[in-house]
Every structure is written in structure tokens, then in C-alpha cells.
Amino acid sequence: MQPRLISRCLLFPLVLLLAGFGSLCAAQPVVPKAVDVHLVTDEAKAALAILSKKKLHQSPTDADWQRLFSSEGFVRLKKREAAMNRAFEDVDFKIFVLSDALAERAPALEETLELWKRADMRRAARLALAYLPRGATIRAKIYPVIKPRENSFVFEVKDNPAIFLYLDPQVSRAKFENTLAHEFHHIGYGSGCPAQRTAEATARLPQNTQTVIKLIGAFGEGFAMLAAAGGPNIHPHAVSSAEERTRWDHDVGNFNKDLKQVETFFLNVMSNRLTNEQVREQTSSFFGVQGPWYTVGWKMSVVIEKTYGRAKLIQCICDQRRLLTTYNRAARKHNRRSVKQLALWSAELLKTIGPA
């Protein structure tokens, strides 16, 4: 999907606007751009500048540290760590930046940042938009950051979407773009899918059933894997390392077993057999490195798209009540013509969730 023009007034020659004809555009509605993404590298650049001085046996000045600690990337990173109740003190970060271990990695970090800066972020956004409903938008700032923890994450998705990516020399430009497309799909989902209508439709269901429907939304990781790859016939780890691809293939090979494991979890939730803490622990375990929320979600998405087309899959993405039932229909079609049979969700589970 191509970004839409803000206004047809953009067709007017610039000279007319400068001559005072801007008022002609006042009544035209402003259409938000489908894609508004920006790479913010100030935190990484400030840290690398300090590492450069260390290499020259120069001591960083107060201004150097101020540049780092006032950078947009650092300020928002610190805010996120505070929201997670994690200690994140400037003095500890100074020790990390001045460590010999980080100094050894400085040349690779600088090279990686330059590669990532040349990434085609708009292409990554278009991949995500192709698996979202018409009208979805992707607005985000992307922060490649040098930090002690090697995790990447999204932050403040509703108000000021941010994607923090650990600056990793093992991640190529192509893999970086793939990761962006994955995260962009998560962000675009919030702008394009009718969450409010879905919530209203499920509000009268038992609380445990509502919980299961929300949990089904975790299969969004699989949707995002498919979107980031660019289609059902492209391996989701086509640009990853051989190790990542092998692990994925092995885990997807356990699809039938993992689907039934997730089903047991859903049924236990609906039967109130689990404490809230057990639900949280099991939910977390299915994320893993790329656990069933990814692999089972991806496989279901592929089967639905190949059977009914992408438009039907997008309906399921936006209303998770339809996902399991639609997958079952598609899987039955698959099973009738294939030796390798796909597991189905049980009637016991489906009858409590939503529309057929």
C-alpha cells in the first residue's frame, strides 16, 4: 500500500502558495500519511563518540556525557526501564560505556549503525501494511541503541510509538529491515483493527472466555512473521542466520503438538483451573525465543491465506474470534488433499469463542 497524499492541494505549484494562495487549501481535509517512520540514532552516536575518545586515550568531558544522557534515545530508554521497574542509573551506564568489552566492539558497532541507517524503512512498512486493513497507519520512531541488555522492544505504542533495537553487529541490514517490518505490523495493528468493536462483541461472554480471546491475540506474532517475510511462499527466516532458520524449521515441525498444547492451556483457562500467575507464566512460555505464539500463529496464517486469500486472513487478524474457526475450515480442506495432516482445534474450544 502506498502512502496517501496529505491533500490534493499538493498539486498546486509551490509558487502559488508562496504568493498567498494558501487559503485555497484551508477547507481541504488532511489525510494522515500511511507511513511516518524515523530513525533516531542520537543515543548510539553519542556513545560511539565517547568510545572514540577512549580509543585515543582521551577522557570524555561533561559535555560528552550530557550529549549522551540528554539524547532522545537515552531519555526514552530510561523512561521505559523505569516503567519496567528496572534500575537504570547514569553512573552505572557510564561504567558500561567505559568498559573494555564495549570498547573492543566499537568498530563493529559503528559499522553496523551505518548499515542500518541505509535500511529501506518504507519498504519494511509497506510489507506490514500489506497484511493490515485499508486505512491502517504506521507511525513510529526507531532507536538503534547501545545498552547493557541485549533485548529489543516496542514502547508507548498508543501515544508515541517507539521501537528500540539493540545495536547488534550480528544483525545484517536485511535482517534489520525484516525486524522492522515485524514490529511495524504490531504498531499498524493498533491503528487499523476495530479493537473497540471486538471488545463490545465479547463483553457479555464469561470472563474466562474473554481472557482466552485476548490470549488468541498473541498469535499476532505469527501474523507479523508472515507480513515481514512478504508472503506465504517466502521463508520467515530467509534473511536470518542458518542457526535461526534451522531452529524455526524444527519448531514448525512440532506444529500439531504445539497447537494441542496451546489448546489445553485455553481450555484450562476457561475451566478456571489455573491461577492468574500460572496463566501469566504459561503465556510467557509460549513466546520463548520464537515459541508457539510465533510458529503456530504463522502456520495458521499461511494455511488461511493459501486457502481463502489474504483478505480473509486480515479479517481474522482484526477479529481473533474468527481465527481458530477459519483455520479449522482451511485445515480440513488441506487434510483432504494432503498426506501430512494438520491438527484441528477442538469443537469444545470453538463453541465458546465466537462466530462460526
pLDDT digits (tens, 9 = 90+) for 229-258: 999 999 999 999 999 999 999 999 999 999
Question: Distance between CA 142 and CA 80 in Å, rounded?
Answer: 14
- Looking at the domain assignment, is residue 46 inside a domain? yes
For Cα atoms 104, 151, 167, give the angle at the middle one, nearest 5 degrees: 40
Domain limit, last residue, from 177, 192, 207: 192
> Among 192, 222, 238, which residue terminates a domain?
192
- Tell whether 160 and 229 lie within a shared domain: no
- pLDDT band for position 24 (50/70/90)? very low
Same domain, 232 and 301: yes
* pLDDT number for residue 38: 95
Q: Which residues contact 303 (CB under 8 A, 6 or more apart)?
A: 327, 330, 331, 334, 342
245 shares a domain with 172: no
Number of domains, the chain: 2
106, with CB counted inside 10 A (0-12, 13-18, 19+), is middle
**3-class SS of residue 15:** helix
- Note whether residue 26 is domain-resident: no
Q: Evaluate whether residue 141 is within a structural domain.
A: yes
Joined grid coordinates for residue 199:
471488545
Confidence of residue 175 (pLDDT cuts 50, 70, 90): very high
In a domain, 15, yes or no: no
Residue 107 has pLDDT above 60, yes or no: yes
CB atoms near residue 234 (< 10 Å): 12
Q: How far apart are CA 203 and CA 201, in angstroms?
A: 6
- Clarify whether residues 293 and 313 are in a common domain: yes
| Cα 45 from Cα 62, distance rounded (Å) | 16
Residues 230 and 179 in one domain: no
Q: What type of residue is 285?
A: S
Same domain, 64 and 121: yes
Per-residue confidence band for 284, with pLDDT thresholds at 50, 70 and 90: very high
Question: Does the residue 83 lie in any domain?
Answer: yes
Q: Identify whether residues 117 and 165 lie together within a single domain.
A: yes
pLDDT in the model for residue 10: 31
Q: What is the pLDDT of residue 28?
A: 37
Residues 131, 268: one domain?
A: no
Q: For residues 17 and 14, give the distance between their C-alpha atoms in angstroms, rounded to a whole number.
A: 5
Domain assignment of residue 290, given as a range: 195-353
Query: Stretch 14-24: mean pLDDT, rounded?
Result: 32
Average pLDDT over residues 53-81: 97
Last residue of a domain, one of 161, 192, 223: 192
